[in-house]
């Protein structure tokens, strides 16, 4: 119950400074559906490592001695839980290779929008935030190690997701992660995927010219979709 309450009352500060990553309901105002281990783990053993994916864009946020990474990746089909596993796998692989203080992986559909302004709202099919050591991210007091959610329906013909928002408690995400036996990154398309650097307060990088900003040096929110 404690894990559910922590997720239900997310840090407003983190939502503002890192693109609304804990406010999965976005601007729709619709309520998220919480799902427990008894439903999740029954299907976790099938396709435990998620799906193949393609890297679309990476945003680096440098704040003095800290680094946050947001990755946008795309998948082809699959259900919501498989998209979540994909995001989780890539988040852990990214941490393993780069050791950032916070990783967010956003999963979109292969047929969905790929430009910065539109990779939000209904374009998002799953989203995982991984904070290995919450004490390293003072902006997120009391944050869980994992914040994870997905849309329970497949993308439509335009690559957009409409359905219930499923929020998975952090402790259940850890159990799913423990079942993964092959943590691999997404494929990189021909030509390196776009990478933007955004400096935080006191950071040594500057926001890329085309990157929308929240007004504090960080990229603007990546809002998630809701009921259609």
Burial class from Cβ neighbours inside 10 Å (0-12, 13-18, 19+) for residue 28 reads middle
- Distance, in Å, from the CA atom of 16 to the CA atom of 22, rounded to the nearest integer, reads 9
pLDDT in tens, 50-92: 899 999 999 998 877 889 999 999 999 999 999 999 999 999 9
Q: For the chain, how far is it from start to end, CA to CA, in angstroms? A: 29
* Mean predicted confidence (pLDDT) in 24-51: 53
Kindly give, in sequence order, each residue whose CB lies less than 8 Å from that of residue 75, ignoring residues fewer than 6 positions away: 51, 52, 53, 54, 82, 83, 86, 107, 108, 109, 110, 125
Report the percent of the chain where pLDDT is more than 90: 46
**Pairing mode of beta strands 194-199, 54-63:** parallel
Report, as an integer, the average pLDDT of 209-219: 34
When pLDDT is cut at 50, 70 and 90, the band that residue 226 belongs to is: low
Tens digit of each residue's pLDDT (9 = 90 or more) over 123-156: 999 999 999 998 888 877 788 999 999 999 999 9
Choice between 198 and 86, residue whose per-residue pLDDT is larger: 86
Average pLDDT over residues 201-215: 32
Lowest mean pLDDT among 1-5, 82-86, 170-174, 222-226: 1-5
Write down all domains in the chain, each with its CATH number in brackets.
2-199 (3.10.310.90)
> Cα angle at 158 between 152 and 164, to 5 degrees?
20
Report whether pLDDT(122) > 90: yes
């Amino acid at each position: 119950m404690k894990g559910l309450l922590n997720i239900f009352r997310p840090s407003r500060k983190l939502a503002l400074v890192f693109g609304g990553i804990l406010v999965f309901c976005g601007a729709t105002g619709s309520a998220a559906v919480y799902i427990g281990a008894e439903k999740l783990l029954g299907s976790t053993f099938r396709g435990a490592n998620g799906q193949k994916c393609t890297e679309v864009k990476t945003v680096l946020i440098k704040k003095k001695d800290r680094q946050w990474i947001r990755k946008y990746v795309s998948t082809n089909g699959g259900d919501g839980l498989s998209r979540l596993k994909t995001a989780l796998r890539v988040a852990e692989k990214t941490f393993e290779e780069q050791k950032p203080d916070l990783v967010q992986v956003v999963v979109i559909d292969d047929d969905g929008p790929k430009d910065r302004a539109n990779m939000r709202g209904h374009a998002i099919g799953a989203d995982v935030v991984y904070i290995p050591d919450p004490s390293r991210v003072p902006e997120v007091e009391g944050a869980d190690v994992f914040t994870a959610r997905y849309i329970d329906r497949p993308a439509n013909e335009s690559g957009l997701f409409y359905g219930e928002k499923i929020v998975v408690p952090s402790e259940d995400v850890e159990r799913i992660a423990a079942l993964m036996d092959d943590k691999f990154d997404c494929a990189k398309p021909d030509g390196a995927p776009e990478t933007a650097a955004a400096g935080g307060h006191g950071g040594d990088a500057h926001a890329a010219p085309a990157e929308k900003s929240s007004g504090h040096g960080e990229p603007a929110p990546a809002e998630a979709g809701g009921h259609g």
